[in-house]
Amino acid sequence: MDKKYTIDDEYYYSIIRDNIRKYRKLKNLTQQNLADMTDISREYICDIENKHRNKHITISLLGRIAEALEIDISVFFKKDNN
């Protein structure tokens, strides 16, 4: 039986991107603040958050961002239905 999957990588990257931006703003951090805290360039943070740049992120960088934001990495995978 052929199984069709309707959710692709871009779906998850979109959720992750939105959550990084959301939690960064909840902590009142600029992209530069987050970059400084994670040793990731501000440009890369901007690329990750910008849906038009299609920048993907590794699990290790996602972990560094989660640690800087003081949240569990799993939060990045939860879709906000608001």
- Which pair of tokens denotes residue 10? 């871009």
Q: Would residue 60 count as lying in a domain?
A: yes
CATH number of residue 39's parent domain? 1.10.260.40
pLDDT digits (tens, 9 = 90+) for 3-15: 777 888 888 899 9
Q: Residue 67's domain spans which residues? A: 9-77
pLDDT digits (tens, 9 = 90+) for 20-44: 999 999 999 999 999 999 999 999 9
Distance CA 62, CA 76 (A): 8
Angle at 34 between CA 73 and CA 25, to 5 degrees: 80
How many structural domains are present in the chain?
Answer: 1
Residue in the block written with tokens 């934001």? 69
Instruction: Report the predicted TM-score, pTM, of the whole model to 2 decimal places.
Output: 0.87
Q: For the chain, how big is the Rg over CA atoms in Å? A: 13
Q: Would residue 43 count as lying in a domain?
A: yes
Q: Would residue 82 count as lying in a domain?
A: no
* Cβ–Cβ < 8 Å for 15, 79: yes
